[in-house]
Structures are given as structure tokens and as C-alpha cells.
């Protein structure tokens, strides 16, 4: 591909992309290479991008239509496509979503059509801590024993946002009936075929999953916990240490991520996220 080059960040996940300037439209051939590399490596890093919110949105749209986040109070004023993730307080108010994603998840997995991927731009970050950790769920799935893979292939996991909210956020205001109606429990295949490269991945998260369809909660949760303990082994992980100007694109179809702890009262972390809409997960046995 003329102009752009890829270099792996960890054995099973992540690639740095060199030779891109996201302040300008990316050519169709380069976008095709990026989309393929995203499917294959799950996380793409593009360093040194001093771009405006408009340029961030325009580039993200080249990957697909964007979500307007439900928590509109945390969106960048004037830019409903940009969700602010930050610990910073200005005029007595949090400027962004504060913490909240310190357990492994895939963005919007509890929706009927979970997000394809997210584009994260680092504006400010602490010297220490505050990394983002990623897991390759395709590499984790590939490493499972064949018997386990076969057992998982016809299973569905029930993602239940309201159930999870009510047992973990007792300190927050109760969800209204209207909010609850937007996020009914949804069953997704536990093994998911990637629409771009056809590679199967585990589609599980540390939050929201109540049970496997047709099994009881406690038994299901034990199996999910065992699978996630396996998936979060060091060989499947890439931990990104941020620098201002970094753009990371992550694929929500074949990876999980979480924020790592940092000094939330003494340092500043400010990130902008766009969220690309996705399609319904499916599993297709290899021919
Ligand atoms: C997110 C998220 C992790 C981080 O914005 O979806 O999970 O490191 N962020 O802030
Ligand atoms: Mn997230």
C-alpha cells in the first residue's frame, strides 16, 4: 500500500500505522487497508495526530455512521458525535464520563446492534497509569480446546443492561421505565464471525452478561468467568500507554478493553471518543 505501513504492537493484537495524516480525507485504497488491518489486528494506533473534533468526526465517518451517545451531557458541546471520557471537573461539573469502564467490555455489546468500533483521541493523559488494556478475543477463541469451541458454537449469551445496572449501581438514580425500554435483554452468539475477515471470536464481556440462553444464572456465570480468565492471559493482551496526539481505533467485534487505574484526583486525563455503529452479531461455521 503506497504511503502507509503497519508494525505489530504485540504478538496477537495491535498494529501501529505509519504514514497517515488524519487532518485530511484518507484515500479509498488506504481505508480498505485500514479496515482489513483493523479486522486482523483489532487495535490500530496512529500517533502524532493534532486534529480538531471536526477532523476526528470526518475520519470516523469514513469507517461508518456514528452513534450519538445516550449520555448527551458528556458529549462535546456542539459535537454530539464526540463522547468525552475524562476525570476533569470544570465549574463544579465533570466534563466527561468519569471512570466506569474498568472492567473488560466491548462498547454497546448490550444493544441489538453493538458498535463496530471506536476511535479514541488522547488530548491529555497522566504520566503514570491510565493505560487502556485490550484483549484479542479471536486469538483467545483460537487457543481454546476444540471440544470447548464446539460446545460454545451454538450458545447465546443474554446481555442484560438493566439487571447489571440494578445490582452494581445502587448509588445511582434508578433507571426510568423509558430508559429501561431502550435496553431490553438481548441474546448474542458467544462465538461471532467477523464480517470483514471471517475469523471467529469469543463475544463475551465482564459486565452485562446474565446467563447463557436456556441455562441458569449461577452456572452460566461460572463458565463465563472461566472463559474470561483464560481470555485475559498475557499472550492475548496489548496495554496501550497513551501520549497526547495518539489515535487508537479498536474493533468491538473481536476485542474487549478496559481503562487502567490512575491518580484520578491529582492528574488530568482527557479523551475524545467517536463510536461507529455496527450490525447484529452472527456465527457462520467455516465451510
Ligand atoms: C471507552 C472506554 C477506556 C479508557 O471509552 O469506551 O472503555 O481507557 N475507555 O478510557
Ligand atoms: Mn469502552
The pLDDT assigned to 199 comes to 98
Give the nearest ligand 1 atom to 97 CA: 5
The pLDDT assigned to 287 comes to 67
Give the nearest ligand 1 atom to 107 CA: 6
Nearest Cα neighbor of 99 from 250, 263, 242, 252 is 263
The Å distance, Cα 102 to ligand 1 centre, comes to: 8
pLDDT tens profile 45-88: 999 999 999 999 999 999 999 997 656 677 888 888 999 999 99
| Fold (CATH) for 5-136+237-276 | Double-stranded beta-helix (3.60.130)
The Å distance, Cα 1 to ligand 2 centre, comes to: 30
Alpha carbon nearest to ligand 1 atom 2, residue: 101
Cβ–ligand 1 contact at 273 (below 6 Å): yes
| Cβ atoms of residues 172 and 216 within 8 Å | no
Mutational test site, ligand 1, from 118, 122, 130, 239, max ligand atoms within 8 Å of CB:
118
The Å distance, Cα 120 to ligand 2 centre, comes to: 10
Alpha carbon nearest to ligand 1 atom 3, residue: 259
DSSP secondary structure of 190-238: SEEE-TTT--EEE---SSSEEEETTS-HHHHHHHHHHHHHHHTSGGGEE
The Å distance, Cα 139 to ligand 2 centre, comes to: 20
Cβ–ligand 1 contact at 95 (below 6 Å): no
The Å distance, Cα 71 to ligand 1 centre, comes to: 14
Ligand closest to 271 (CA) is 1
Cβ–ligand 1 contact at 38 (below 6 Å): no
The pLDDT assigned to 99 comes to 57
pTM of the prediction?
0.95
Q: Is the pLDDT of residue 139 over 90?
A: yes
pLDDT tens profile 222-235: 999 999 999 999 99
The whole-angstrom separation of Cα 186 and Cα 111 is: 7
**Cell digits for 27?**
484515500
Burial class (CB in 10 A: 0-12, 13-18, 19+), 63: buried
Alpha carbon of residue 15 to chain centroid: 16
Q: Is the dihedral of CA 173, 181, 66, 138 positive or negative?
A: positive
Question: Which residue spans of the chain are classified as CATH 3.60.130.10?
Answer: 5-136+237-276
Give the range among 122-136, 164-178, 200-214, 245-259 with minimum mean pLDDT: 164-178
Amino acid at each position: 500500500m503506497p504511503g502507509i505501513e503497519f508494525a505489530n504492537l504485540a504478538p496477537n493484537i495491535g498494529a501501529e500505522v505509519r504514514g497517515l495524516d488524519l487532518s485530511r480525507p484518507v484515500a479509498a485504497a488506504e481505508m480498505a487497508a485500514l479496515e482489513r488491518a483493523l479486522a486482523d489486528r483489532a487495535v490500530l494506533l496512529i500517533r502524532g495526530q493534532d486534529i480538531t473534533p471536526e477532523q476526528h468526526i470526518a475520519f470516523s465517518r469514513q469507517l461508518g455512521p456514528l452513534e450519538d451517545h445516550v449520555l448527551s451531557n458528556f458529549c462535546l458541546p456542539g459535537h454530539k458525535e464526540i463522547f468525552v471520557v475524562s476525570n476533569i471537573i470544570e465549574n463544579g461539573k465533570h466534563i466527561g464520563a468519569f471512570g466506569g469502564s474498568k472492567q473488560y467490555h466491548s462498547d454497546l455489546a448490550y444493544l441489538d446492534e453493538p458498535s463496530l468500533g471506536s476511535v479514541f483521541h488522547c488530548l491529555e493523559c497522566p504520566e503514570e497509569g491510565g493505560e487502556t488494556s485490550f484483549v484479542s478475543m479471536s486469538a483467545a477463541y483460537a487457543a481454546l480446546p476444540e471440544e470447548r469451541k464446539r460446545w460454545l458454537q451454538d450458545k447465546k449469551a443474554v446481555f442484560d443492561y438493566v439487571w447489571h445496572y440494578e445490582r452494581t449501581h445502587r448509588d445511582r438514580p434508578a433507571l426510568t421505565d423509558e430508559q429501561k425500554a431502550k435496553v431490553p435483554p438481548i441474546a448474542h452468539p458467544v462465538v461471532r464471525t467477523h464480517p470483514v475477515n471471517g475469523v471467529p471470536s469469543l463475544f463475551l464481556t465482564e459486565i452485562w452478561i446474565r446467563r447463557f440462553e436456556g441455562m441458569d444464572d449461577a452456572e452460566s456465570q461460572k463458565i463465563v468467568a472461566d472463559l474470561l480468565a483464560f481470555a485475559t492471559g498475557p499472550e492475548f493482551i496489548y496495554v496501550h500507554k497513551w501520549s497526547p496526539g495518539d489515535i487508537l481505533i479498536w474493533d468491538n467485534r473481536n476485542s474487549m478493553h478496559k481503562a487502567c487505574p490512575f491518580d484520578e484526583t491529582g492528574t488530568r486525563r482527557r479523551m475524545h471518543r467517536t463510536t461507529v455503529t455496527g450490525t447484529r452479531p452472527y456465527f457462520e461455521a467455516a465451510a
